[in-house]
A and B are shown apart, each in its own frame.
Chain A
């Protein structure tokens, strides 16, 4: 989707277990949800 929007040189950081220990943890686990950092440059 980023590339389709005109971004390039895309970097994705390691997953972060954002919801661990939170009330939303069960839903996050259901769909393997993690937080990520993204870096991209506009063409």
Chain B
């Protein structure tokens, strides 16, 4: 049975916004996942790159893997970050593409957008921009991106097929999708899938 019949989309989005609002405003709070520099180190991000970023760029990082572990993004690339949060992966991408490239982060949580935009201004990263939007309907032109990245976001979307279709739309033909996310090794019972609290906690 498709997940979209088991969970209300608006209820889940509201809960996700509330969860990640807390991660934006209280990054060291009692979350059910690791955050910040310890998490980045656990996931294998280069210390040399992470150490150069200010705390505000790293502290609300709440990814589940390393989307750069299988491929480094080429200089000059145009990148979309789906669910950019406080911008950590967007800033990593920005260092890889350089000023000849461009990064657009998309997020639906106002507190995360405010934080990522302020950090981009602080870093003087003029080639990074953050836009409000949903993973299923991103404010990005068809075929704009050379690369799409994401980290721990698609698992929080009810209609994953719609998200991948949207990523396909914004990528140019031959473009690259490099993302990190969680996967379960054991089947999740229907009653657990219906439990919205388990999606975010």
Q: Is the beta-carbon distance between B33 and A39 smaller than 8 angstroms? A: no
Q: How many A-B residue pairs have CB under 8 A?
A: 117
Question: Which residues of chain B from 157 to 201 have any CB-CB distance to chain A below 8 Å in the complex?
Answer: 160-161, 164-165, 167-168, 171-188, 192, 198, 201
A residues in contact with B64, CB < 8 Å:
16, 18, 35
Q: Is the beta-carbon distance between B172 and A42 smaller than 8 angstroms? A: yes
Q: Is the beta-carbon distance between A37 and B176 smaller than 8 angstroms? A: no
**Nearest-Cβ distance from residue B125 to partner chain A, whole angstroms:** 24
**Nearest-Cβ distance from residue A25 to partner chain B, whole angstroms:** 9
- Our pick among B160, B175, B185, B201 for the contact of A1 (Cβ within 8 Å) is B160
Complex alpha-carbon distance, A38 and B161, angstroms: 16
- Assess A11 versus B70: contact at CB under 8 Å? Given A32-B185, A42-B174, A42-B177: yes
**Chain B residues within 8 Å of chain A by Cβ, number:** 44
Q: Is the beta-carbon distance between B33 and A22 smaller than 8 angstroms? A: yes
Give 14 pairs: A residue, B residue, CB < 8 Å, sorted on A.
Answer: A5-B165, A6-B168, A13-B69, A16-B42, A21-B34, A31-B187, A31-B192, A36-B181, A37-B180, A38-B180, A38-B181, A39-B70, A42-B168, A42-B173
Other A-B pairs beyond A5-B165, A40-B177, A42-B173, 18, CB < 8 Å: A4-B161, A7-B168, A7-B177, A16-B43, A16-B44, A18-B43, A22-B33, A28-B182, A31-B192, A33-B182, A33-B184, A34-B185, A35-B64, A35-B65, A39-B70, A40-B178, A41-B176, A42-B171
